[in-house]
Amino acid sequence: MSLNTYGHLFRVTTWGESHGPALGATVDGCPPGVALEEAMLQHWLDRRKPGQNKYTTQRREPDAVRILSGVYEGRTTGTPIQLMIENTDQRSKDYGDIAQKFRPGHADITYHQKYGLRDPRGGGRSSARETAARVAAGGVARAALKMLAPEVRITGYMVQMGRLKADRDRFDMAEVEQNPFWCPDATAAAIWVEHLDELRKSGNSVGAVVEVMASGVPAGLGAPVYGKLDTDLAAAMMSINAVKGVEIGAGMAAAELTGVENADEIFMGNDGRPRFSSNHAGGILGGISTGQDVVVRFAVKPTSSILTPRKTITVAGEEAEIITKGRHDPCVGIRAVPVGEAMMACVILDHLLLDRGQTGGQRGAIG
Amino acid sequence: MSLNTYGHLFRVTTWGESHGPALGATVDGCPPGVALEEAMLQHWLDRRKPGQNKYTTQRREPDAVRILSGVYEGRTTGTPIQLMIENTDQRSKDYGDIAQKFRPGHADITYHQKYGLRDPRGGGRSSARETAARVAAGGVARAALKMLAPEVRITGYMVQMGRLKADRDRFDMAEVEQNPFWCPDATAAAIWVEHLDELRKSGNSVGAVVEVMASGVPAGLGAPVYGKLDTDLAAAMMSINAVKGVEIGAGMAAAELTGVENADEIFMGNDGRPRFSSNHAGGILGGISTGQDVVVRFAVKPTSSILTPRKTITVAGEEAEIITKGRHDPCVGIRAVPVGEAMMACVILDHLLLDRGQTGGQRGAIG
Amino acid sequence: MSLNTYGHLFRVTTWGESHGPALGATVDGCPPGVALEEAMLQHWLDRRKPGQNKYTTQRREPDAVRILSGVYEGRTTGTPIQLMIENTDQRSKDYGDIAQKFRPGHADITYHQKYGLRDPRGGGRSSARETAARVAAGGVARAALKMLAPEVRITGYMVQMGRLKADRDRFDMAEVEQNPFWCPDATAAAIWVEHLDELRKSGNSVGAVVEVMASGVPAGLGAPVYGKLDTDLAAAMMSINAVKGVEIGAGMAAAELTGVENADEIFMGNDGRPRFSSNHAGGILGGISTGQDVVVRFAVKPTSSILTPRKTITVAGEEAEIITKGRHDPCVGIRAVPVGEAMMACVILDHLLLDRGQTGGQRGAIG
Amino acid sequence: MSLNTYGHLFRVTTWGESHGPALGATVDGCPPGVALEEAMLQHWLDRRKPGQNKYTTQRREPDAVRILSGVYEGRTTGTPIQLMIENTDQRSKDYGDIAQKFRPGHADITYHQKYGLRDPRGGGRSSARETAARVAAGGVARAALKMLAPEVRITGYMVQMGRLKADRDRFDMAEVEQNPFWCPDATAAAIWVEHLDELRKSGNSVGAVVEVMASGVPAGLGAPVYGKLDTDLAAAMMSINAVKGVEIGAGMAAAELTGVENADEIFMGNDGRPRFSSNHAGGILGGISTGQDVVVRFAVKPTSSILTPRKTITVAGEEAEIITKGRHDPCVGIRAVPVGEAMMACVILDHLLLDRGQTGGQRGAIG
């Protein structure tokens, strides 16, 4: 993690502002020979694309991604892959208000304090638009995983909106693609629709919890003690705009468990691999994957750009009120789902390469 | 974060195993001219030292730290600082049981799966003993902060043990040093004493939540989008043994807030600096510090080394039961408090240097 | 140095192939507030541009650089700067011969051996076209240096072509811009014209030595022992295509000196700063700048793409002969001059930021 | 390369000063399962050890290396390996003269200018004693190579002392261990003996050129464009104390070649691998190994600590003369031979791991 770069061997640098000519991701260290074309990345970008329903910003961006380098005749060459998405719907509106006032809960004030200047157009670099670049890079990671570890499956979904939690007993993964919230609990999704409509109409917004699960992850990915798989996952998820908490497995609730409860007991599976009675560990022990599902959750705070007036100050230091008009998501958590998936894909691939580098990917056999 | 190294400019590499001859930290990139002597580091190590009361492991280690390099006549020279702590109380007991069986919830199995071999003595590299090296390194960071940003104050404390939460209305920071849990709520601490005694006697263990607060942190530390201050804090805390969740400010509860509630409204303070009505952000917006208190919380799972028998398998793949005798903390969260403080100190200093490198540390004035 | 990324704090990742749609550089970590516009970068790119005289490739590329991010209203914002140069003159010729045969002395064979596939069009990633991206990034570095260390001056020039060396007694820096070789010795340049004409006509090519000098570099840049200023300069120059040797100050000839000869004796200058009797050190002692001119030289091998037939093998493993038709520089050393300057600018700026981060840029006074 | 750390995946951080209690190397990222014990490292350290003949410093250091971590029952565990060498012969002499005056050609003045303070005892961090730590780390790299690429052979030797060059026509590698200069030309070695005796007696010193050759390096190591194998080798060698120039293959002389001469023509070998008519490339094309011998040369300047008086200034800014008494090598190039070998071993191993990470180490077949 080096300012705008993420990853050890599979390294992603995102660049670009909300209202500049373009944004994108520079992907370095991708394995050679991976089948890759723009349509494969577009598939993932379309899931995150704004303006798809009334719960996401009405900005109209095709988010068409172009591969400018690193691919020859449909295969990665092992050299840097440049992914570019042009911005097309930067409305020629007046940004004077945002340029002069700091939105509470927004990066406006800290960018000003750090850099002394900022690009106020649509939030500039701090806009959630930056996450489009991550989704594109995540598409590259998925393509590489398809070649190197085809059994890996990554699925993200919302498990909570505001105080309303989905019920795990009702989870049906087939439902995830059937509602605008990527929620595996259809009943909860129906309730959320009403709740969010109400919030949106009242000029308010709301937070959410997203869970991302990776199954088929081989045992042995990760490393002590700062290169832990969960360390990198925590960093990856916390780096997403508006995220304020990250959990692995039992997460914060692990504090409530006793050692007896927390122990995921181990048995031998019929396939000669260890089998566990439970997964409080979220698939990671000592920073290294166990072969169980890797489970990460993160909380997304409510959009700070709201229609309800809030107290703030101006660049000149005067007290003021601000209302943020414009096209904002009432629940940014929704569009964080594909972003979380992308980060998971990048981290898993990166650790797969890192492990292959150090150990050759040879697993210590049991039995 | 590169396997065992943490930090961008202030870089800490920890090394060593629980039962090897020594462990320590290699600290590179420390500013020159910092007043530093062993006693200053020992102060922090003594807080984390095992065997201080019946709630921590009875292993007797003086944890005496030696500075082997990088300091001349009581001042850092800007060259690498090697901190070494010799292990003295490695009991010559038989580790055969742990060597052959994997403790559920422990790194035993994943180290075996990844590396094909492991040092089973006391958990080897995955032992919480590694955190002594972090505390020593954190002491260096504190000394440097004292010179560069003397207003920074870092305080860690436990806010939850098992299901028992401390009550923020009763918080009195003067109490933190008065009970074995570093708990600012004296009433809660008294209850925890009983709870933990019971658990310990029953051969069980329990999780905890630790909070670390840094006040006096200048605005402007951190950077988009992977070098965010909260990204690095999340990584730092998640890298501590047994941590399963990390929160900044409102944390996971941010999901429950509306945008109206979450907005930390901004006013001008009498000192010409912005003042906020609340701190849901935990002192960080857009990955950059606001000048408010930086607030991080993390959940520590219960020790997996317990006296209650659990099902597991052997290296040979046979099913078995395991009881972990020996000297183990019934609540490792307690000793995680000084570790969390150390990580906070390292991250804050690192970002101070990083910011000074890029921007010269000149803050964009308001007003 | 991480595959395609260079630098510690001022980090440059170049991307793109010779005949892809575009190439460029992702520049991260630039200080905020630097005056920057495309024309400033174009100035440097135009110096390197192909097709300017008969001694450089006849490919016609405008090499027009676009700034896609990181600049707002003519100032850098501290966020990543994406520099893109579109390729326009990729001739639709048949690359079959190069695709099937490996040019001796060229990266064709090693890319094949490493990656199993390669983009053969114009050399793909290994083409010297990649250096256009470095020159663009170097332009950003120069703009930042102008703000932070305006006294720094960087000048590159050729000092040798084949066996013909320029004569330092005839050096006149005003001549550098007056001949196609950036040679400060006008007499040598005139001789080189004839020599190169002859070589070119005979279907041959020739090597060269380039020197890059940075004056006005403050004392104190660099660090022990792998972050030395000369270590990073050596890496930077060696990373340029076709470079086979790098020298600092006396360079390889330092081997011939005695300690008495080599000692750059020190005196106090009238300006209160140390003054040296000579500069065998090339401005660097112990990896740290002395305040003298920083002097680097590097040897560029002759272009391997020549019209004289050479023995080689095919991808199928059959022996063959190869002639490389096309538009190739008879002396690639010429266009390496602005590239070397760009690398010098990047390294100096990077170390300026790095030093400011660690030490605050406060110099130990003498006297 | 990050201040005192070298390498991408096999990362070495050296620490320690000439006259501190100890110095050493923290080695992270070593593959697990490598057979390693102290005696294996001692073998290499003994080659570099001071005081072995009259041409090296008379300081008496056993340079006994201890492995403090990362090895269990004679095998590396994949966790950090701490190598410590205690300093035993720090003479209690008065360093006042060196503490107050800057030796010309030495890091004294730049450490002062950068850090504002320095450890003057024996040169502190800038002492060539630091290279003992590299040799120890190189021993770990050699042990890992023995497991992963047993065909790799690394040999260093001196090819020039002052103006006296060894004659390649007389090279006999069996001679390397037979003379105090590791010179494969016995005739030259005999001449050097006289030359160096004379210099030593006159209180002078002299430079040298060292060549390091690695045979058996698999094709495909390295990467464009900043992760080139030659880029990292240049950095590694230039980071050694007193080195002023680095060459790969033909090196600086590549400038004198024509394209026709420089082309290493390619044929198919009987073993189904490419065979080359010559090796001007030094085993590296486009930054990636060809499978030929990797050949690096570097120039070591003469020791700046000499008995002949030289002009200098004091910390107080007064002009003065300095003579460096004490135990100094008349030709530090001699002891640079094992250091160069160690750096070669580290770089080759690092790139082996890096390549295995990205490509899986599968080579593109020819034929």
pLDDT digits (tens, 9 = 90+) for B46-66: 987 766 766 766 667 789 999
Distance CA A2, CA B224 (A): 9
Least confident of B13-27, B92-106, D182-196: B92-106
Neighbours of chain D (3+ CB pairs under 8 A): A, B, C
**CB atoms B362 and A5 under 8 Å:** no
User: Which of B 89-118 lie inside 8 A of D, CB atoms?
Assistant: 111, 114-118
Helix or strand (DSSP H, E) at D245? strand D243-248
Q: What is the pLDDT of residue D16?
A: 97
Mutate to test the interface with B, among C34, C77, C356 (most CBs of B within 10 A): C356
Nearest Cα residue to C323 out of C165, C103, C100: C103
Distance CA D328, CA D244 (A): 19
More reliable by pLDDT, A367 or C263: C263
More reliable by pLDDT, D328 or B331: B331
**Whole-structure pTM value:** 0.97
Closest chain C residue to B362, measured at CA:
C32
Q: What is the pLDDT of residue D48?
A: 79
pLDDT tens digit sequence for C145-179: 999 999 999 999 999 999 999 999 999 999 999 99
**CB atoms D78 and A360 under 8 Å:** no
Q: What is this model's ipTM?
A: 0.96
In this structure, which amino acid lies at residue C68?
Answer: L
For residue B238, give the nearest of A231, A316, A359 by CB distance: A231
> Which residues of chain D carry a pLDDT beneath 70?
1, 50-51, 53-54, 56-59, 90-96, 326-327
**CB atoms C223 and B78 under 8 Å:** yes
Distances (CA, A) of B310 to B105, B305, C143, D168: 10, 10, 65, 70
Mean pLDDT of C186-194: 96
Contacts of D192 in chain C (CB under 8 A): none
**CB atoms B28 and D13 under 8 Å:** yes
Distance CA A231, CA A83 (A): 27
Triad C149, C151, C152: Cα angle to 5°: 75
Neighbours of chain C (3+ CB pairs under 8 A): A, B, D
* DSSP 3-state of C327: coil
Q: What is the pLDDT of residue C121?
A: 87
**CB atoms C360 and B31 under 8 Å:** yes
Distance CA A81, CA C3 (A): 12
Mutate to test the interface with D, among B19, B67, B71, B115 (most CBs of D within 10 A): B115
Q: Does C288 touch chain B (CB under 8 A)?
A: no
What does the buried/exposed string (b/e) look like for B20-44 if buried means 16 or more CB atoms within 10 Å of the residue's CB? bbbbbbbbbbbbbbbebebebbbeb
Q: What is the pLDDT of residue A1?
A: 63
**CB atoms D358 and A223 under 8 Å:** no
Give the count of Cβ contacts less than 8 A between chain B and C: 43
Q: Does A235 touch chain B (CB under 8 A)?
A: yes
Written as six digits, the tokens of D85 are 């060498």
In this structure, which amino acid lies at residue B234?
Answer: A
Nearest Cα residue to B356 out of C359, C34, D113, C76: C359
pLDDT tens digit sequence for C26-59: 999 999 999 999 999 999 999 877 667 667 666 6
B202 is in an annotated binding site: no
Q: What is the pLDDT of residue B21?
A: 95
- Beta carbons of C22 and C85 less than 8 angstroms apart: yes
> Which residues of chain A carry a pLDDT beneath 70?
1, 50-51, 53-54, 56-59, 90-96, 326-327
D302 is in an annotated binding site: yes
Q: What is the pLDDT of residue A327?
A: 62
pLDDT band (50, 70, 90) for residue B367? confident
For residue B78, give the nearest of C79, C353, C359 by CB distance: C359
Give the list of residues 6+ apart from residue D326 with CB closer than 8 angstroms, or none: D93, D305
What strands, in cross-sheet order, belong to the sheet with D65-67? D5-6, D11-16, D22-28, D81-86, D65-67
Q: Does C22 touch chain A (CB under 8 A)?
A: yes
Q: What is the pLDDT of residue C192?
A: 96
Mutate to test the interface with A, among B98, B248, B260, B356 (most CBs of A within 10 A): B260
Distance CA C99, CA A288 (A): 43
* DSSP 3-state of C131: helix
Contacts of A129 in chain B (CB under 8 A): none
Give the list of residues 6+ apart from residue D203 with CB closer than 8 angstroms, or none: D306, D307, D308, D323
Closest chain C residue to B358, measured at CA:
C31
- Beta carbons of C144 and C349 less than 8 angstroms apart: yes
pLDDT band (50, 70, 90) for residue C96? low
Q: What is the pLDDT of residue A324?
A: 80
pLDDT band (50, 70, 90) for residue C267? very high
pLDDT tens digit sequence for B209-235: 999 999 999 999 999 999 999 999 999
pLDDT tens digit sequence for C326-353: 667 889 999 999 999 999 999 999 999 9
Q: Does D365 touch chain A (CB under 8 A)?
A: no
Distance CA B276, CA B274 (A): 7
Contacts of B122 in chain D (CB under 8 A): none
Residue C229 has pLDDT above 60, yes or no: yes
Nearest Cα residue to A146 out of A37, A261, A297, A19: A37
For residue D79, give the nearest of B5, B78, B125 by CB distance: B125
Q: What is the pLDDT of residue C352?
A: 98
Q: What is the pLDDT of residue B212?
A: 98
D125 is in an annotated binding site: yes
Helix or strand (DSSP H, E) at B114? helix B108-115
Q: Does D360 touch chain C (CB under 8 A)?
A: no
